[in-house]
């Protein structure tokens, strides 16, 4: 296990890494130092060729309860702009990891916490999880991508309602909106997400990386251009050893032994 000032980074085998934001006394609030640690962890993980899945969660009763308001309250406009820029850079680095990033939302995911979850590829939630973007109750707006990413996940009308009201919603409501994929009992959340991560890690790693890449880039393109992107990703895997092994294993009715080559 690697311990940063505010994070624990733990290898769980099979190329799966669990990153835990470990500031429970502050409900894992995103201070400038936490944001710097997240960015640094993402950069280190991006260098790992053995990486298959990243799980992001929080220690204690919160995923991330928001940005650190005590740290923000005295910002000048220039300092606020720099803080927002740093938050965007850290979340973009996590989102850009070449493997699936899963948010295991164990508790409060409010403000910057929801924005952090939205930077992940998949969101799973504890029954006790709470989601929201309450920034307007402080006289500000989301600053780490919430006004842009939320609408792309749940649709713009539902996103506007959450942003404009600053409301907090339950895990069940989040699932209904398509924000959370599945809900687990609190004590079963991490084990349940690890089981999903292991299923992903058992698939062809080059195929998983290619799928994430074309889905991520294609989501911002017109359909015809996105389909061309998919065609390149599809054919580009044909020379890989994994593609040959996967198809041979299928024909021989055995489990594939992927190597990531």
CATH homologous superfamily of domain 2-201? 2-enoyl-CoA Hydratase; Chain A, domain 1 (3.90.226.10)
- Does the structure show a pLDDT above 70 at 3? no
State the catalytic residue, choosing from 8, 10, 43, 135. Answer: 135
pLDDT for 14: 93
Sequence-ordered alpha helix ranges (H) in 62-204: 69-72, 77-95, 112-118, 146-154, 156-165, 171-177, 189-201
Of the pLDDT bands very low, low, confident and very high (cuts 50, 70, 90), residue 67 is confident
User: CA-to-CA distance for 89 and 36, rounded, in angstroms?
Assistant: 9
Per-domain residue ranges of the chain: 2-201, 205-251
Q: What is the dihedral of CA 241, 243, 248, 254, to 10 degrees?
A: 100
State the catalytic residue, choosing from 25, 115, 187, 220. Answer: 115
For the question of residue 135 being annotated catalytic, the response is yes
Topology of domain 205-251, CATH: Lyase 2-enoyl-coa Hydratase; Chain  A, domain 2 (1.10.12)
- Does the structure show a pLDDT above 70 at 241? yes
Q: What is the pLDDT of residues 69-119, one digit of tens each?
A: 888 888 999 999 999 999 999 999 999 999 999 999 999 999 999 999 999
pLDDT, the chain, mean:
95
Q: What is the pLDDT of residues 107-150, one digit of tens each?
A: 999 999 999 999 999 999 999 999 999 999 999 999 999 999 99
pLDDT for 4: 72
User: CA-to-CA distance for 259 and 245, rounded, in angstroms?
Assistant: 9
For the question of residue 115 being annotated catalytic, the response is yes
SS3 100: coil
User: CA-to-CA distance for 98 and 217, rounded, in angstroms?
Assistant: 12
**Rounded to two decimals, what is the model's pTM?**
0.94
């Amino acid at each position: 296990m690697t311990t940063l000032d505010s994070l624990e980074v733990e290898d769980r085998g099979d190329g799966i890494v669990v990153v835990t934001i470990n500031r429970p006394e502050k409900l894992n609030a995103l201070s400038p130092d936490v944001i710097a640690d997240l960015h640094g962890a993402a950069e280190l993980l991006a260098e790992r060729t053995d990486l298959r899945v990243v799980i992001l969660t929080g220690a204690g009763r919160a995923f991330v309860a928001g940005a650190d308001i005590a740290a923000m309250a005295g910002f000048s406009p220039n300092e606020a702009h720099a803080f927002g820029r740093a938050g965007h850079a850290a979340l973009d680095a996590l989102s850009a990891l070449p493997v699936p990033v899963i948010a295991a939302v164990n508790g409060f995911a409010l403000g910057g916490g929801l924005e952090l979850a939205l930077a992940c590829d998949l969101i799973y939630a504890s029954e006790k999880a709470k989601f929201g973007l309450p920034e307007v109750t402080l006289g500000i707006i989301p600053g780490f991508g919430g006004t842009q990413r939320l609408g792309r996940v749940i649709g713009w009308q539902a996103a506007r309602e959450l942003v404009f009201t600053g409301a907090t919603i339950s895990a069940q409501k989040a699932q209904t909106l398509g924000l959370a994929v599945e809900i687990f009992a609190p004590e079963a959340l991490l084990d349940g997400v690890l089981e999903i991560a292991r299923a992903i890690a058992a698939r062809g790693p080059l195929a998983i990386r290619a799928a994430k890449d074309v889905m991520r880039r294609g989501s911002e393109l017109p359909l015809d251009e996105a389909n061309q992107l998919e065609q390149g990703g599809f054919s580009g895997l044909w020379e890989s050893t994994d593609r040959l092994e996967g198809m041979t294993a299928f024909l021989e009715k055995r489990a594939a032994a992927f190597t990531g080559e």
